[in-house]
Amino acid sequence: MIGHTVAVSTSRPKRTLRLRTRVTVFFSIATLAASLALAVVTYAVARTYLLDQRVNVAQSQGFSNAFAILTEMRAPSPTGLQLFMQQLPETGGFAILQTPDGTYYSDQRFPDDVLPVELATNVRAGNYGLQRFEANGEPFLGSGIYIAEFDSFYFEGFPLDTTDRTLGAIATALLVGAGVTALIAGGIGWWTNRRLLRPLTRVAAAAGEIAGGGLDARMANETDPDLAKLAASFNEMADAVQARLEREARFASDVSHELRSPITALSAAVEVLDGRRADLPERTQQALDVVVSQVRRFDQMVMDLLELSRIDAGSTELHREGVSIEELVTRIAHRYGFGDVPIEIGRKVPTTVQLDKLRFERILANLLDNANQHGGGPTRVTIEPRGRNGISLAVEDNGPGVARGERARIFERFARGSAARHKVGTGLGLSLVAEHAHAHGGEAWVEDRPGGGARFVVTFNEVA
């Protein structure tokens, strides 16, 4: 027989991203990395191309202008060398001519000292020079040529601001493109994951229904061959699980029913013997006491097994009705011989609540009996509000308490804590408590009582 067990969580599970989110993030990061790598390569190629093109232009135009100056110096025009110099540079550029007779400038904003020392030194040594530098906060590509015929030096600065702006625009476009590509890849990854994980979602939904007691839940047929195989395997597994559970439940129910008749007859015979115990020798009376206690324990176990069998078979429904919680708890306590146990009702607990009286009585009676058998007797019963529409029932005892490692297991069927191993009991009382709590939409657990002992708590939802 399979039932609902209540587990006590001692630590919070580590929070991780969902599989769909992780795959989407992986798609986005991988695409972004690839896009950035491609952007870096593209930018490097574009930069090299543009700068090489600019260098070629500077070299060609520099030599052309130097030759024009040489021609002008051989046959000076009426306008003069200074005016001729102003017509040579391209827009935004400048030219400087150093001759033995003086220095000529195309633009007075760019005197000799704007030239980098390395370029000037190289050209004055009779070599051709080409160097990038900044003048007045603007980028230039400097060209220097030695005019040996007139022992003169011609320098020209070619502006690079347009090239830099172009490179900046390319870099911005590549970065934006990489970001957009990553977002598109993330969207595609999310959409793809959603389609790929949809069958797993259906599997999880069907498994959840089965775990919740819906043994008839099955997966629908799939058109995809791979998914069809998954659905068929899952359904076959669910059929096998359902058949086994139903077979075990029928077996337990049948055994319990078959045992009722002989147990009833045996109990009646034992009660007759117990009624005439005064006629029996002392040693026989001791043996009779053992038989009576074991028969009663056996009878209670069969009753509990029958009740669990009905719960597993789903033949017991929750019948809520309005009851006075204080009156109900008091009546149950007196009925089972615990009328002297203090009962405390929270001020915010509704006077009338919606409960299944029989299930509530079973829960409270089992908790009181458990405290009496294994906890030195119940010391207090409390009813407190829980959440918006729920309440909690707690039974406290004065026993040794329950070890942390046993707090979840004692709500399983036939499970017994270390403190109860040598005491009378069926091992089914607390499992019935958990089952009836689950039927009310609640749960059951045990915790330490302040001052020592154990505190068994059961919650009931949607009672107000």
Which tokens belong to 344?
A: 């405390």
**Gap between the Cα atoms of 146 and 413, Å rounded:** 104
- 326, 382 contact by CB (below 8 A): no
Whether the per-residue pLDDT at 154 is higher than 60: the answer is yes
**Gap between the Cα atoms of 372 and 456, Å rounded:** 13
**Gap between the Cα atoms of 391 and 353, Å rounded:** 9
Which tokens belong to 193?
A: 């994951």
Which tokens belong to 377?
A: 């007797």
Indicate the residue type of 256: S
How many DSSP H helices and E strands does the chain contain?
9, 12
Query: What is the pLDDT confidence band of residue 333, given thresholds at 50, 70 and 90?
Result: very high
How many C-beta neighbours within 10 Å does residue 281 have?
Answer: 8
**Gap between the Cα atoms of 160 and 436, Å rounded:** 83
**Lowest mean pLDDT segment, chosen from 106-120, 236-250, 345-359:** 236-250
Region 4-10 average pLDDT: 41
- Per-residue pLDDT tens digits for 92-101: 899 999 999 8
Counting residues of the chain whose pLDDT is more than 70, the rounded percentage is: 83
pTM above 0.75, yes or no: no
**Gap between the Cα atoms of 370 and 97, Å rounded:** 110
Q: Which residue has the higher pLDDT, 73 or 253?
A: 73
Which tokens belong to 44?
A: 């490097």
Q: What is the pLDDT of residue 334?
A: 92
- 434, 411 contact by CB (below 8 A): yes
**Gap between the Cα atoms of 364 and 325, Å rounded:** 12
- 411, 457 contact by CB (below 8 A): no
Where b means 16+ CB within 10 Å and e means fewer, 15-50 reads eeeeebeebbeebbeebbeebbeebeeebeeebeeb
Which range among 130-134, 204-208, 318-322, 425-429 has the greatest average pLDDT?
130-134
**Gap between the Cα atoms of 280 and 273, Å rounded:** 9
Residue 149 neighbours by CB under 8 Å, 6+ apart: 70, 73, 74
- 313, 215 contact by CB (below 8 A): no
Cα 272 off chain centre by: 64
Surface-to-core class of residue 307, CB atoms within 10 Å of its CB (0-12 exposed, 13-18 middle, 19+ buried): middle
Domains of the chain: 23-167 (3.30.450), 225-313 (1.10.287.130), 321-460 (3.30.565.10)
Q: What is the pLDDT of residue 424?
A: 55
**Gap between the Cα atoms of 355 and 319, Å rounded:** 7
Indicate the residue type of 130: L
